[in-house]
Amino acid sequence: MTDLAEAPAPVWPIPSSLSPSRVSSFTSCPMQFRFSSVQRLPEPPGVATTKGSVVHRALELLFVLPAGERTPAALARCLDDALEEYSTDPDYVALRLDETAAQKFRADCDKLIERYFDMEDPTAIRDIGLEVRMAANVGTLELRGIIDRLELDDDGELVVTDYKTGRAPSGNFEQKSLAGVHFYSFLCEAVLGRRPAKIRLMYLSSGETIETVPSAQSVRFIDTRTSAVWKAVERACTTGDFRPNQSRLCDWCGFQQWCPAFGGDPDRAETEAVAAYEALLADPVAVG
């Protein structure tokens, strides 16, 4: 016999790693986090997200070229290649775009890459890494992230560049979006032993660039904040208490029909979300 009561088994498996976007997903809505990061349910892809992925891929292909060959015509070819790659990708197929919608998708991508050349000269960029995967531990948690582009400035200091295809944040939301990118400086310091001199967010939809200079304090804050979020994730997995948090993000949430805040039953999500996603992929016929 022992006096020590055994800890109750968690209701849900506790994830062993988190990306910055998952951390932000938990703080925005724990219920959505349960669906996407704990149950790992498939989410119907959105046009905007897939467009962003295609443009990111086109820019990655551009930077594979020698600096002198990074011209607008080359980027247009890179976009062709990226669209070709994505034509069979489940995230694109499941959009079920008809011919008109596919043309608009392409035209929107064209606009984003045209604006890119107004924002910087890629022939002058000293890139040292593209789509760089990094992971570092915060306590028992592994924090993972992918950096779009890592480069050196004129002084040989590290610069992290993150492409954004959504709208640039305004006012208070600007600081919130920058909070996310401080994860990247945390990862650089942990993995490379160097804090970046600058982090840049390039908003291709509006041509704006937001820059921030990470400090020792901002990096320390990531450690503290992530540890606090992680404790909350562990607690929610142990108790099964993932509360919905309604906000304007609900309009884009792929799990709304199973969300209790909208009268749904979260316990039906597992079977129904998988079946709905498989049906979407099985019938790629355009629905207009």
The footprint of ligand SF4 (CB under 6 A) covers 29, 31-32, 244-246, 249-250, 253, 255-256, 259, 261-262
Tell the smallest beta-carbon distance from residue 37 to ligand SF4 (Å). Answer: 12
Our CB check for ligand SF4 shows the closer of 147 and 253 to be 253
Give 130's DSSP letter. E
Please tell me the distance from the alpha carbon of residue 113 to that of residue 213, in angstroms, as a whole number: 26
Tell the smallest beta-carbon distance from residue 251 to ligand SF4 (Å). Answer: 8
Our CB check for ligand SF4 shows the closer of 238 and 245 to be 245
Q: How far is CA 32 from CA 105, 145, 169, 178, 258, in A?
A: 27, 20, 22, 22, 10
β 158-164/198-203 pair status: parallel
Our CB check for ligand SF4 shows the closer of 41 and 222 to be 41
Tell the smallest beta-carbon distance from residue 72 to ligand SF4 (Å). Answer: 39
Q: Which residue has the tokens 């995230």?
A: 91
Cβ atoms of 211 and 162 within 8 Å: the answer is: no
Tell the smallest beta-carbon distance from residue 257 to ligand SF4 (Å). Answer: 9
Q: What share of the chain is helix, strand, coil (3-state, %, to 5)?
A: 55, 15, 30
Our CB check for ligand SF4 shows the closer of 15 and 30 to be 30
Tell the smallest beta-carbon distance from residue 137 to ligand SF4 (Å). Answer: 29
Our CB check for ligand SF4 shows the closer of 100 and 246 to be 246
Question: Which of 155, 55, 70, 156 minimizes the C-alpha distance to 109?
Answer: 55
Q: Give the dihedral sign, CA 62/129/26/6.
A: positive
Tell the smallest beta-carbon distance from residue 179 to ligand SF4 (Å). Answer: 19
- Judged by DSSP in three states, 239 sits in helix
Tell the smallest beta-carbon distance from residue 281 to ligand SF4 (Å). Answer: 22
Please tell me the distance from the alpha carbon of residue 285 to that of residue 97, in angstroms, as a whole number: 8
Phi/psi of residue 276, each to 5°? -65, -40
Our CB check for ligand SF4 shows the closer of 196 and 254 to be 254
Our CB check for ligand SF4 shows the closer of 28 and 123 to be 28
Tell the smallest beta-carbon distance from residue 24 to ligand SF4 (Å). Answer: 12
Question: Which of 174, 171, 36, 50 minimizes the C-alpha distance to 105?
Answer: 50
Which residue(s) pair with 130 in the sheet?
Answer: 149
Our CB check for ligand SF4 shows the closer of 123 and 246 to be 246
Question: Which of 160, 134, 162 minimizes the C-alpha distance to 146?
Answer: 134
